[in-house]
């Protein structure tokens, strides 16, 4: 993770017929509207949960989403789409508590939508288990994950006034 900035982690796969594209489409809408910049203020990692996914396939998926970010000019260098062996995928998914399974009949992975906010030290500071990401909530979660190294003085003040409410899945 580099240890310099917070990282958003998504677990998806390119051939997902619905949830992954829905989640990533919503994510890019929020990211493109934000003034925090991918690669400058935070990193982004999308790990494919499909060990058979090819490098070529995931590169095409990355290109699709990068093209949807006209206001994030350096997104390509800060958003990493990666493939891995099943052992590595299992290690990561176990570490973040992401449960999924492959269905032989449908040839699909059944999985939840999940976004993990990870501190520069590798500590998960927040999860989002939704497919929508309100910009203000995303910003506050990134500020929290960065331990105040990302964002403005106003953001630091707001973090004193707001707390994360897990019941409502947002800051209040």
pLDDT of 172 reads 52
Residue 107 has pLDDT above 80, yes or no: yes
Q: Which of 68, 84, 80 is nearest to 21 (CA)?
A: 68
pLDDT band, residue 137 (cuts 50/70/90): confident
Backbone angles phi, psi at 155, to 5 degrees: -60, -40
User: 27: how many CB neighbours lie within 10 A of its CB?
Assistant: 24
Backbone angles phi, psi at 85, to 5 degrees: -70, 160
121 phi-psi bin (left φ>0, alpha ψ -120 to 50, beta other): alpha
Maximal C-alpha separation, the chain:
53
């Amino acid at each position: 993770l580099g240890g310099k900035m917070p990282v958003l982690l998504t677990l998806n796969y390119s051939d997902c017929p619905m949830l992954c594209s829905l989640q990533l489409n919503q994510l890019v809408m929020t990211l493109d509207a934000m003034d925090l910049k991918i690669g400058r203020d935070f990193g982004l990692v999308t790990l494919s949960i499909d060990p058979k996914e090819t490098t070529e396939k995931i590169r095409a998926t990355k290109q699709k989403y990068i093209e949807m970010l006209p206001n994030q000019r350096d997104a390509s260098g800060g958003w990493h789409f990666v493939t891995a062996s099943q052992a590595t995928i299992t290690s990561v998914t176990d570490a973040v508590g992401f449960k999924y399974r492959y269905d032989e009949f449908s040839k699909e992975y059944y999985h939840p939508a999940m976004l993990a906010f990870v501190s520069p030290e590798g500590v998960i500071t927040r999860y989002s288990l939704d497919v929508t990401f309100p910009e203000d909530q995303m910003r506050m979660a990134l500020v929290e994950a960065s331990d105040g190294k990302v964002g403005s003085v106003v953001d630091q003040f707001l973090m004193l006034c707001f707390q994360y409410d897990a019941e409502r899945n947002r800051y209040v």
